[in-house]
Amino acid sequence: MSILVDEKTRLLVQGITGRQGTFQTKLMLEYGTNIVAGVTPGRGGESVHSVPVYDDVATAVEKHGANASIIFVPPPGVEEAILEAVEAGLKLIVTITEHVPVHDMLRAKAVAAREGVTVVGPNTPGLISPGKCKVGIMPASIFRKGDVGLVSRSGTLLYEVASTMTRAGCYQSTCIGKGGDPVTGMTVTEYLQLFENDPDTRAVVVLGEIGGSEEEDAAEFIKSNMTKPVVAYIVGRSAPSDKRMGHAGAIVSRGLGSAESKVEAFESAGVPVARRPREIPELISKALASGRK
């Protein structure tokens, strides 16, 4: 199995006629993702790579039974795009756009949560269940169908580690970039819960970085709730405090959210922490052999 996306995903692309929407639609179709419709206001009646385009989400959902959306619209339009998708009844919304205004995302997140809608991102490469479905912009060739879940705050780190795992024969069930903006739809802990409930995910890798407390929170969750082995990797050990390193979510302030605190939290929860990506496959293998508990 996998989490969130699989062969039953019927995808809608919001902003399909833009440059990135058009380009990434082509790549997702080539991977085998079932893209049933696209939406760009004022462009209804057109098509992109043979995918019909509509003026609004509700019409596209009604005509094609879409159950998920991926958003390629400029930052000021993301809140409206998410709310339109929620109102149309979609249950998974993947927001590729970065630098979404914080208050816009806070409002959209609150509405989505109230309606039971899963939001991945913003500022995410998306997610992929190898061999089944890709909803995002990640290079599909580096992933292989397997039984190890992967969740990362960084898109490029996700690529590096997935590629390293694949070369080592450590294949994946679902790989998710949770998003790098300050406010994102789901937490690392919430993704861990989904992997814990997936019968075909045997182990999970958490890729973290400086800033915020999500990794520390995840470590607390792992202590009491995870029966499956978890391996972690944290970047930013040499980053100076009080400086943003990379995207908007990566900032350490007054000692909070440092790499050291995250490593310590995972180790105290019994989670092995790799110092280099190449160590991850071996740590997974050892964890599966011994069991976390």
**Catalytic choice (49, 64, 103, 247):** 247
The strands making up 47-48's β-sheet, listed across from edge to edge, are 47-48, 51-54, 35-39, 11-14, 68-71, 92-95, 118-120
Task: Tokens 């609004």: give the residue.
Answer: 56
103 is known as an active-site residue: no
Q: In DSSP terms, which residues pair with 207 in a beta bridge?
A: 152, 233
> What is the spatial distance between Cα 204 and Cα 221, in angstroms, rounded to a whole number?
13
Distance CA 223, CA 40 (A): 45
Name the token pair of 176: 């998710």
User: What span, in angstroms and rounded, lies between the C-alpha atoms of 86 and 247?
Assistant: 27
Report the C-alpha gap between 139 and 128 in whole angstroms: 10
Which residues on neighbouring strands pair with residue 200, listed in sequence order?
none
Show which residues are catalytic. Answer: 247
